[in-house]
Amino acid sequence: MTGPAPAPASWQPPATALELRALAAQRTAYAPYSRFRVGAAVQASGAVFEGANVENASYGLGVCAERTAVFAAVLAGARQLEAVVVCTDASPPSSPCGACRQVLAEFGPEMTVIVADAAGHRCIYTVRELLPDAFTPAHLDR
């Protein structure tokens, strides 16, 4: 008896609901300077919080999609995040920047991080894999 036929190499599993939310958020990004639109969706206790990158003419004042989604979750009372999906147009999909990795580590060092693009390509990590020696509250002198 044989199992199901293997999927063709170009086959990608369908996007998850969290990925679809991140893709929708990506469409709201404000990126007139870089044209690099990013959307993110964070899951915490069953709730989903979206974010998109917001650029500024004073470049250093822009903020990434991952952080806007995390900050929305925290504003709603979430403190332990379970998963984040980050969607870009880059292929292969881009992973979070260092600042976003640090913010993600604050609220979920074991959380799943999925980076995806609109074509369905994805890579899956944990925050600890992306930032193995993160600065955490344990490092603070209390």
- What is the sign of the dihedral through the CA atoms of 50, 85, 71 and 98? negative
Identify whether 66 is a catalytic site residue.
yes
**Which residue reads 């989903």 in tokens?**
48
Q: How far does Cα 48 stand from its chain's mean position?
A: 12
Q: Which of 66, 82, 106, 110 is catalytic?
A: 66
Report the chain's C-alpha Rg in angstroms. 16
The alpha carbon torsion through 49, 55, 58, 60 (nearest 10 deg) reads 60
Catalytic residues, by residue number, are: 66
